Structure 1
């Protein structure tokens, strides 16, 4: 089994945090900060997987 990472395997990009003014304070079912939290969870998962493929990056 080949454990060499793929040639084109860029590091995941952290999502941009919304600004306080991006929230309308309207009690939305899904606030921009909720979406950001989900995006960050997904980013952390992708980053952990990427780091496992690129142990030299730490």
Structure 2
């Protein structure tokens, strides 16, 4: 998964839409971080197995 890019200035109308483009961005960023944390943990575990 590629890191999400924040919305451009022109993409938010500041009308308090629900969901706002920023809401969508922050949710995608949260998912991206969770996936990277999981991937990093799996890599570290695999490296630990190789050391034994």
Q: TM-score, normalised by structure 1?
A: 0.66
Higher-helix-fraction structure: 2
User: Larger C-alpha radius of gyration, 1 or 2?
Assistant: 2
Q: List gaps (5 residues or longer) in structure 2.
A: 48-52
Number of aligned residue pairs: 45
1:37 matches 2:22: no
Q: TM-score, normalised by structure 2?
A: 0.72
Give RMSD over aligned pairs: 1.5
Q: List gaps (5 residues or longer) in structure 1.
A: 1-11
Partner Cα distance (2:16, 2:41) in 1: 39
Moved over 4 A (4+): none
